[in-house]
């Protein structure tokens, strides 16, 4: 019995040493000079651009609330996280923070006072941001009007609400590291990698997560937890991969939400509307160059043809409700009606996006380059689960598309799911 007690004590001590070693897991990069975060017009303008590129307002603004004042609820598989106030209010925001405090949060995931931050704040991506860009962001946020709004506590389940558990997560899944350019690549490729992997945190959605909430294979696609949308793979020739797209079409999609090859809907429409449309042409092109270079993955084998009865019903429904816009051949028409033939976003293994668009309608974002987008009406009031399943199956298996059939049960699962 005494030996068992000693073994348990040794195990506890070992775990304590490991956690203690992992707890700081931080890097410090000094600022070039105090002028780096000074409230100059140049710093503020640069920081405003970076804040838009990182879509910071989306999470740090509650519906109907003051910009950047926090309070937006982010549901996760582990409970609810409430975003903090990042206006320069000294009592409830970041008004008392230093530039080093801000760097610690952005790069190391450590808040002012040493508290570990939850990775719902995507510091595993933001850690790649340079100190110069972090300081410009800080200068911009400090220039905002302060908003007095107290932060609300998170509502996470045990043990996920524990700093000890979070330290263990960091030990397994987090390594702070500023992006290092690849000398074998072009400046445009490196700029695109910096934006996609870092400030744009594309992998936060477009990567599958394990049971502990850590990202798996980067940009290989994944179901967004609790949201009910699938972020498709961006690798070269898989799902929504852009390897075979023309660069200008990728840029057009990022900056306007529509292109001759497809359009964005759901959560991605919000990203384009509030963030990506404001990228400079050079930055959007750099992202396109990087995304087109991602390694290819093996394509899945074509699925078996759907049953004749399902195919016949799906075809009839398509001809009645869809062909006038998307064409009998599924090729669409211009930028108004995206093509369905050869559209990788429709043929993902997880058909949720196509189901939700048919049920709830499809709406591209309103952007400077496409201020009056066409929309697709919702068909949930007029089509049954079996009918939605049939028409989605039809578009996923026609004109060269070869994805698996959709069942009425899959449709029913998403019929009552909120839009976001």
Q: In whole angstroms, what is the distance from residue 190 CA to residue 195 CA?
A: 9
Name 53's Cβ contacts closer than 8 Å, sequence gap at least 6.
Answer: 195, 199, 200, 275, 278, 279, 283
Average pLDDT over residues 79-106: 96
Instruction: Encode pLDDT of 259-306 as tens digits.
Output: 999 899 999 999 999 999 999 999 999 999 999 999 877 666 777 888
DSSP-derived letter for residue 363 is: E
Burial-class residue 111 by CB neighbours within 10 Å (0-12, 13-18, 19+).
Answer: middle
Q: Give the pLDDT confidence score for residue 32 in this predicted structure.
A: 79
Q: What's the mean per-residue pLDDT of the chain?
A: 90
How far from chain centre, in Å, is Cα 64? 22
pLDDT for res 236? 66
pLDDT the model gives residue 301: 73
Q: Is the pLDDT of residue 234 over 90?
A: no
What's the pLDDT score for residue 88?
Answer: 98
The stretch 24-29 carries a mean pLDDT of 73
Calpha distance 125→292 (Å, rounded)? 20
Is 28 exposed, middle or buried, given 0-12, 13-18 or 19+ CB atoms closer than 10 A? Answer: exposed
CA dist 327 to 308, 331, 358, 404, 418, Å? Answer: 22, 6, 16, 22, 30
d(CA 335, CA 225): 31
Position 23 scores a pLDDT of: 55
Q: Which of 173-177, 235-239, 279-283, 388-392 has the lowest mean pLDDT?
A: 235-239
pLDDT the model gives residue 22 = 54
Contact status, residue 380 vs residue 355, Cβ threshold 8 Å: no
Determine the average pLDDT of the residues in 305-314.
92
Residues 121/70, Cβ–Cβ less than 8 Å = no
Under the banding of pLDDT at 50, 70 and 90, the label for residue 221 is confident
pLDDT score recorded for residue 272: 97
Name the pTM for this structure. Answer: 0.89
Q: How far apart are CA 68 and CA 280, in angstroms?
A: 23
Reported as a single tens digit per residue, the pLDDT across 341-362 is 989 888 888 999 999 999 999 8
Q: pLDDT > 90: what percent of the chain?
A: 73
Query: Which pLDDT does position 219 carry in this prediction?
Result: 87
**Dist. CA 312–CA 160, nearest whole Å:** 49
Q: What confidence category does residue 102 fall into, taking pLDDT thresholds of 50, 70 and 90?
A: very high
Q: How far apart are CA 139 and CA 121, in angstroms?
A: 20
- Asked if the model's pLDDT at residue 257 lies above 90, the reply is yes
- Reply yes or no on whether the pLDDT at 14 is more than 70: no
Query: How many Å apart are CA 236 and CA 185, to the nearest integer?
Result: 17
Using a pLDDT cut of 70, give the percent of the chain over it.
91
DSSP per position, 45-98 = HHHHHHHHHTTHHHHSB-TTS-TT-B--EEEETTEEEEPPP-SS-TTTSSTT--
Name every residue whose Cβ is closer than 8 Å to that of residue 52 and which is 6 or more positions away in sequence.
274, 275, 278
Q: What's the pLDDT score for residue 244?
A: 85
For the stretch 46-62, pLDDT in tens is 999 999 999 999 999 99
> What local confidence, expressed as pLDDT, does residue 356 receive?
95
Return the number of other C-beta atoms located less than 10 Å from residue 305's C-beta. Answer: 12
Please determine, for residue 98, whether its predicted confidence score (pLDDT) is greater than 60: yes
């Amino acid at each position: 019995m005494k030996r068992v007690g000693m073994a348990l004590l040794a195990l506890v001590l070992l775990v304590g040493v490991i956690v203690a070693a992992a707890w700081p897991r931080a890097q410090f990069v000094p600022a070039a000079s105090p002028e780096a975060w000074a409230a100059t017009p140049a710093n503020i303008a640069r920081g405003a651009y970076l804040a838009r590129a990182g879509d910071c307002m989306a999470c740090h603004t509650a519906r109907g609330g003051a910009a950047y004042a926090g309070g937006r609820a982010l549901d996760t598989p582990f409970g609810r996280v409430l975003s903090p106030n990042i206006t320069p209010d000294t009592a409830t925001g970041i008004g008392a923070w230093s530039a080093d405090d801000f760097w610690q949060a952005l790069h190391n995931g450590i808040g002012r006072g040493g508290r570990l931050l939850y990775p719902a704040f995507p510091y595993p991506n933001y850690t790649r941001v340079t100190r110069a860009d972090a300081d410009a962001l800080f200068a911009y946020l400090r220039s905002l009007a302060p908003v007095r709004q107290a932060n609300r506590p998170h509502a996470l389940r045990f043990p996920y609400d524990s700093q000890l558990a979070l330290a263990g997560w960091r030990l397994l899944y987090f390594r702070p590291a500023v992006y290092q350019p690849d000398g074998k690549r072009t400046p445009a490729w490196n700029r695109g990698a910096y934006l996609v992997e870092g400030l744009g945190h594309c992998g936060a959605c477009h990567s599958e997560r394990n049971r502990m909430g850590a990202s798996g294979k980067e940009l290989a696609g994944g179901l967004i937890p609790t949201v009910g949308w699938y972020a498709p793979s961006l690798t070269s020739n898989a799902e929504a991969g852009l390897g075979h797209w023309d660069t200008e079409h990728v840029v057009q999609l990022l900056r306007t939400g529509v292109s001759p090859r497809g359009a964005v809907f759901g959560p991605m429409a919000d990203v384009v509307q509030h963030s990506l449309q404001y990228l400079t042409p050079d930055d959007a092109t750099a992202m396109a160059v990087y995304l087109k270079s991602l390694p290819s993955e093996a394509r899945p084998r074509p699925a078996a043809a759907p049953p004749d009865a399902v195919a016949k019903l799906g075809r009839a429904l398509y001809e009645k409700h869809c062909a006038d816009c998307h064409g009998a051949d599924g090729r669409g028409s211009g930028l108004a009606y995206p093509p369905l033939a050869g559209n990788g976003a429709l043929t993902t293994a997880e058909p949720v996006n196509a189901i939700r668009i048919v049920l709830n309608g499809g709406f591209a974002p309103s952007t400077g380059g496409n201020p009056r987008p066409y929309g697709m009406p919702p068909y949930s009031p007029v089509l049954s689960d079996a009918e939605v399943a049939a028409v989605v199956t039809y578009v996923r298996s026609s004109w060269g598309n070869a994805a698996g059939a959709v069942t009425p049960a899959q449709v029913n699962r998403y019929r009552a799911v909120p839009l976001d």
